[in-house]
Every structure is written in structure tokens, then in C-alpha cells.
Amino acid sequence: MENGKIKGALYVLISAVCFALAGVLIKSIDWNALSISGARSIFAAGVLYVYLRSQDKRLTVNKPTVAGAVVNFTMLQTFVAANKLTTAANAIVLQFTMPAWIILISLFVLHEKPRRSAVVACIVIFAGIVCFFFDKLGPTGLVGNIIAVISGIAYAGVFMMKRIPGCDFESAAILSFLGCAVCGLPFIVQETDFAPTVIAAIVALGVVQVGCAYIFLSKGLDYVSPLTASLLSTIEPILNPIIVAVALGETIGPLSLIGATLVIVASTAYNVHVART
């Protein structure tokens, strides 16, 4: 492997580790989901804007970029809400149903006929989703699972943003962060717990878990393909629930565990198969 590809792979892995901090940090903050999303986005927007200017680029605002921002905004908001309403493991694994949604979007929107392997991957991934919904969950967990699936659909759109002519990925992310901040501000001012640990968690979410994650992902994609990046990012749905389980003692039910295995294995196997062929 060339040095550039090794460097790119390391950047993507660092990005995945940053993203994997979401579960434990979000669950450690006793705030409304919109408050958390809005507050972290303020810091994330600042970090990514500094990076954008360091690359001698300016903020781009056009229709394709705004469309990308709407997709990313949806993914950010629904993922935080899902973490509040269901387990961190359910939220992140259901979000990583993203490859199946990419296949379906490609079929019905771009009219690209999927490979047989893609169809098999879809079937296995959706079998995993069914396991989550048949696990012993109350109404709140069910709603959280539904929102997590919506987050997965939006996440698929985020991965496809670079296929939109004229869409600037970094600018779309910054605009989505600003949108989250505006939506969250009315809820932030109503919060009462501003302990140092809460503020530290919010700053960590914005600067590291989102801001640095997007920077490293962007740098990684300069060296490796989106497919390789997707494969390397599979560490996130594995690492995220492990961190939460160790730090907060949160676990998932047996059916959810089976579902998680199906989703992760199917996504990884499909990416490896496509990379080889």
C-alpha cells in the first residue's frame, strides 16, 4: 500500500474513533436532544470553518450545497434524538444500515440496477433491523429505533453528497451545523444544568466528536475511495456501544445483539466484495 493510502486510512480510522464518542458523551448530558445538537454544532461549525479557511477555501452557498446541508442536518438531529430514546448500540448500528439505503436510493432515484450481492446485503441488513424491532422494547425505545433508521437513510444521503454536482461537502456540513445551532438555541436557554462536566462534554462533542471527525474524514477521502472509507468506518458501530457499556453500563438485548451482528457483517462483507471486484 502506498504511503498516501496508509495516511488516508489512518485519517479515516481517527475520524471513526472520534465519531464513536457520540454515544457516551450524549448520554452523559441530561439535556434535551435539540439542546445537545445545537450546542455541539456551535463548536463544530467554528472548528470546520477554521479548517475550511486554512485550505484557502470560502464558504459556498448554492442550491446543491444547501440540499446537502439539509440532508446532513437531518442526520445530525435524528442521531442525537435516537441516542436519547434508545440504546447507543441500537442508534449507531441502525444508522449503519446506510449501505442498504444507498443501494435503494441508487435504484429508485438514480435508476442504477444493483448487483446481486447488493440485493443479498440489503436482505440481511433489513433482517437485522427486524431483530431490533422485535427485541423487548417499550414505546420510547421503539420510537428511538424508528428515528435511528431515519438517521441511517439521511446518512446514506451524506455519503452521496459528493455525487451532487456543485455541492461542497465542507460548506454543506458548516451550514447544517449552523442550522442545528439556530434550532437548538431556544432549548439551550431553558436548560438548568451547566455544570463544568456538562460544558466539557458539549465542547468535546463539538470540537472532537463532530468537528475533528469531519476534518479527518475529509482529509482521508483525499487519499482513499469513499468505499474504502466506508469499510474502515465499520469500527464505529463496534466501538461506540463498547465505550458506552464500559463507561455507563448500558447493554442491549439478545435479539438486538443478533441484529447488530447481521448489520455489521452484511455491511462489511458487501464493502469487501465490491472492493475486490
Per-residue pLDDT of the chain (277 residues; tens, 9 = 90+): 467 778 888 888 899 899 989 889 998 999 999 999 999 999 999 999 999 999 999 999 999 999 999 999 999 999 999 888 877 767 777 776 776 777 777 777 767 777 787 778 778 877 877 777 676 555 556 788 888 889 888 888 887 787 788 999 899 999 999 999 999 999 999 999 999 999 999 999 999 999 999 999 888 877 877 666 776 777 777 777 778 877 888 776 787 778 778 877 877 777 677 667 6
- Give the pLDDT score at 270: 73
pTM over 0.85: no
What pLDDT shows up at residue 226?
66
pLDDT of residue 139: 58
Cβ neighbours of 11 (radius 10 Å): 22
Please answer whether residues 152 and 101 qualify as being in contact, where contact means their C-beta atoms are separated by less than 8 angstroms.
Answer: yes
User: What is the domain extent for residue 83?
Assistant: 3-276
- Contact in structure between 139 and 274 (CB atoms under 8 Å): no
pLDDT at 217: 86
Number of domains in the chain: 1
